[in-house]
């Protein structure tokens, strides 16, 4: 059979499938008057008419591709609530860093998740889905999710709880940027800001959230039950990235990448992504980006959390004060431990480097991010310089700088003297 005839036969088959699918969709949903369905049907009718008039083989091939793509458009692209806007975030090339290093530095734009605008949207949604699947949550019953967080997970939980019919109670350290707790209040969450304390203290923000959940459940005068989200230890955390973020990165890069760089707070992102990507790409280099005061750098590099003179869990504050929020911790969580053996190296990033990078990204790429994203980008740039030109590195842009105005961005202004910040200066800071 001539090639052109084969394409016409294939096209006729696809057209038949398209018409049948369009008819069944209208019949099953009884939407003959629905404008969206009518638009989809008209689009397919136009393609049919165009197909019938084609006598050129190349044009015929192109039209078949257009017809195939039309199956994924129309009403099927409408998202189910704010939860439907979580995941499938774009992977963007950071042009200035790529040009400087000779590597392709790509960033997963997790600040474009549609509920709480951070990678924690994936975790919060998975925590709620798992709890609902186990019958632990009943919408509009007074059931309340409790969590200890420095901000982003709480914001994601608060937004999704509202969408699903639950309440949120967030415990957080009182030295976090005030706009985070303000946003939580606007989302209808109850917020407790408490003094910073080590995990061994029962009034530490995570422990307090666990206690508050138990108090709620045991109180006969309080409607519903309390559920402790437990983001640091729950399996729902790393699994959200193993089933979502990791596969998306693999697909978006076509499986061609040399390294993945990420900070760790709970550890869910770096573990989940590493577990997935290394199952596909065993030679992939996974690198931790860690801020001052965190013990994870030493854990990865040297196998211990602290200097030998210190004992894990006894320090009341970070060894080094830092303005970086959201990443860095002085204990090994379950979510970090699950992927720890897959982390090949760690890069320490200080405050000056993070601030310089944040300013650089605004001035040269129009990207406005918070402190953890800046740390990730510094580490990605340093890794690129170590690997040499020609490599592809993926990192994470976690959240917008709008959540860090009162702390990380407090003294920084953009648009000052020309070239008052340089990438060489950032690396040397």
Which residues does the annotation mark as catalytic? Answer: 120, 372
Lookup: tokens for 159: 């937004």
Strand partners, 145: 168, 227
Cβ atoms of residues 387 and 411 within 8 Å: no
Q: Distance between CA atoms of 325 and 406, rounded to whole angstroms?
A: 12
Q: Distance between CA atoms of 214 and 143, rounded to whole angstroms?
A: 12
- Sheet with 91-93, edge to edge strand ranges: 91-93, 104-109, 392-397, 259-262, 285-290, 345-348
Helix axes 351-365, 371-387, angle to 10 degrees: 90
Cβ atoms of residues 205 and 171 within 8 Å: yes
Phi (first) and psi of residue 3, to 5 degrees: -60, -40
Residue whose structure tokens are 């577990």 = 275
Cβ atoms of residues 226 and 217 within 8 Å: yes
Phi (first) and psi of residue 421, to 5 degrees: -135, 140
Signed CA dihedral, 186, 107, 406, 194: sign only: positive
Burial grade of 302 (CB within 10 A; 0-12, 13-18, 19 or more): exposed
Q: Distance between CA atoms of 324 and 183, rounded to whole angstroms?
A: 19
- Determine how β-strand 91-93 pairs with β-strand 104-109: antiparallel
């Amino acid at each position: 059979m001539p090639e052109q005839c084969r394409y016409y036969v294939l096209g006729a088959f696809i057209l038949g499938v398209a018409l049948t699918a369009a008819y069944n969709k209208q019949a099953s949903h009884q939407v003959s008057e629905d404008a969206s369905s009518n638009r989809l049907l008209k689009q397919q009718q136009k393609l049919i008419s165009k197909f019938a008039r084609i006598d050129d083989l190349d044009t015929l091939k192109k039209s078949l591709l257009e017809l195939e793509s039309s199956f994924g458009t129309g009403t099927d692209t409408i998202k189910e609530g704010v939860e439907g806007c979580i995941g499938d975030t774009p992977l963007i090339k950071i042009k200035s860093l790529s040009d400087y290093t000779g590597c392709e530095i790509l960033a997963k734009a997790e600040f474009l998740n549609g509920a709480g605008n951070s990678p924690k949207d994936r975790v919060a949604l998975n925590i709620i889905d798992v709890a609902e699947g186990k019958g632990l949550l009943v919408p509009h019953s007074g059931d309340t999710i409790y969590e200890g967080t420095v901000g982003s997970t709480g914001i994601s939980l608060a937004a999704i709880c509202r969408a699903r019919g639950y309440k949120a109670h967030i415990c957080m350290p009182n030295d976090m940027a005030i706009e985070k707790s303000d946003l939580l209040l606007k989302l209808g969450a109850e917020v407790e800001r408490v003094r910073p304390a080590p995990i061994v203290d029962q009034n530490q923000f995570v422990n307090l959230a666990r206690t508050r959940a138990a108090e709620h459940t045991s109180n006969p005068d309080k409607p519903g039950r309390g559920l402790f989200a437990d983001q640091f230890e729950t399996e729902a955390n790393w699994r959200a990235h193993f089933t979502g973020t990791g596969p998306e990165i693999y697909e978006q890069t076509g499986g061609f990448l040399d390294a993945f760089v990420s900070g760790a707070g709970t550890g869910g992102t770096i573990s989940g992504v590493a577990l997935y990507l290394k199952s596909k790409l065993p030679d992939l280099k996974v690198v931790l980006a860690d801020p001052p005061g965190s013990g994870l750098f030493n854990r990865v590099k040297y196998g211990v959390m602290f200097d030998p003179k210190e004992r894990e869990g006894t320090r009341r504050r970070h060894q080094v004060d830092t303005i970086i929020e959201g990443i860095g911790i002085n204990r090994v969580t379950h979510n970090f431990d699950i992927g720890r053996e897959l982390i090949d190296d760690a890069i320490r990033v200080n405050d000056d480097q993070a601030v310089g990078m944040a300013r650089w990204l605004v001035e040269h790429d129009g990207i406005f991010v918070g402190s953890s994203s800046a740390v990730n980008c510094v580490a990605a740039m340093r890794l690129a310089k170590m690997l040499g030109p020609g490599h592809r590195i993926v990192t994470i842009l976690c959240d917008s700088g709008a959540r860090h105005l009162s702390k990380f961005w407090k003294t920084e202004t953009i648009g000052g003297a020309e070239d008052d910040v340089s990438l060489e200066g950032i690396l040397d800071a």
